[in-house]
Amino acid sequence: MTTTTGNPYTIFLTGRDRTVFDEVAVTDAVVKPGMFLARTATGARPQNVAAAAAPSLVATEATVFEGTIETELAVGERVQFGNASGCHVYAILLSGENVAAGAKLTHDGTGKLAALGVDEVWIATALEAVDASAADKRIRVEVL
């Protein structure tokens, strides 16, 4: 199965059938499907620690509420997410990044991905080349 053509309308491209999903309140900051999340005492927020080891929790589209992969969820709204380890997902590459297929990626501190730097934690591999030099862009990745 290939995940490198077309623009999907879903976040989990492979592995959805074996992923356990949860739904909690958004806390602290707006969440967009495809962002990596961190649990909080009362819900979840975008992963806020750059280049750190963390659970691979990824926000998915809110299909129950007819949301799309571009529907932002405000603080207090419910976010659906799953553990993406071993899955291919349609994540978000940080503005200013330009990566090749096969590039190693890490958390950027806002729930998005960035190219791996020295002494940073590798959390995903790019499945396609993406130039996000002017704005955030969607990217297909394999999550470790």
Mean pLDDT rounded to a whole number for the chain: 92
CB atoms within 10 A of CB 65: 11
Lowest mean per-residue pLDDT among 38-42, 59-63, 87-91:
59-63
Model pLDDT, residue 64:
57
pLDDT band at 72 (very low <50, low <70, confident <90, very high): very high
pLDDT band at 63 (very low <50, low <70, confident <90, very high): low
Domain boundaries, the chain: 12-86, 89-143
Asked whether residue 101 carries a pLDDT value surpassing 90, the answer given is: yes
pLDDT band at 3 (very low <50, low <70, confident <90, very high): very low
CA distances from 90 to 37, 52, 66, 67, 93 (A): 14, 20, 18, 15, 10
Model pLDDT, residue 54:
86
pTM of the shown model? 0.93
CA dist 130 and 118 (Å) reads 21
pLDDT tens digits for 5-50? 678 989 999 998 878 889 999 999 999 999 999 999 999 999 999 8
Asked whether residue 94 carries a pLDDT value surpassing 80, the answer given is: yes
Three-class SS of residue 64? helix
First-residue to last-residue Cα distance in the chain: 18
Model pLDDT, residue 53:
87
CA dist 142 and 144 (Å) reads 6
